[in-house]
A and B are shown apart, each in its own frame.
Chain A
Amino acid sequence: MAKTSKKQVIDKFKTHAGDTGSPEVQVALLTQRIQNVGDHLKSHGHDDHSRRGLLSMINKRRRLLHYLTRKAPERYQDIIGKLGLPK
Chain B
Amino acid sequence: MDQNLKEKALEKLTKAESVYVVVSKASGLDGLASGLALYLSLVKLGKNASIISTTPSVGDANKIYGVDKIGKLIGKRNLTVVVDNAVESVDKVTYFLDGNRLKVVIHSLAGSNGVSKDQVSLEETVSAAELIFAIGCDSQESLHSEITHEQNISSETLVININNQKSHQKFAQIEVVNDQAATISEVMSKMIQDLALPVDEDIAYNLYIGISEATDNFSPAVASPLSLEMAAWLLKFGASRASFAGMPQRPDLTASVLPKTVQAIPPIGVDYMDKTPTLEELEGKQELKDQSASRDWLKPPKIYKGSKSFDREN
Contacts and interface: CB of A to CB of B under 8 A. Distances in A.
Given A34-B58, A66-B242, A55 B68 contact: yes
- Interface size classification for chain A: 20 to 34
A84 B272 contact: yes
Interface of A, helix, strand, loop or mixed by DSSP: helix
Given A59-B65, A84-B272, A86-B272, A70 B58 contact: no
B255 to A, nearest CB: 15
Contacts of A48: 55
A48 B274 CA distance: 29
A75 B211 CA distance: 28
A51 B71 CA distance: 12
Nearest to B71: A52
9 contacts: A34-B58, A52-B71, A55-B61, A58-B67, A60-B68, A69-B245, A84-B274, A84-B275, A87-B243
Given A52-B71, A73-B246, 20 more contacts: A34-B58, A38-B58, A48-B55, A54-B61, A55-B68, A59-B65, A59-B68, A62-B62, A65-B242, A66-B242, A70-B241, A73-B245, A74-B246, A81-B264, A81-B279, A84-B274, A85-B62, A86-B62, A86-B270, A87-B245
Interface of A: 34, 38, 48, 51-52, 54-56, 58-60, 62-63, 65-66, 69-70, 73-74, 76-78, 80-82, 84-87
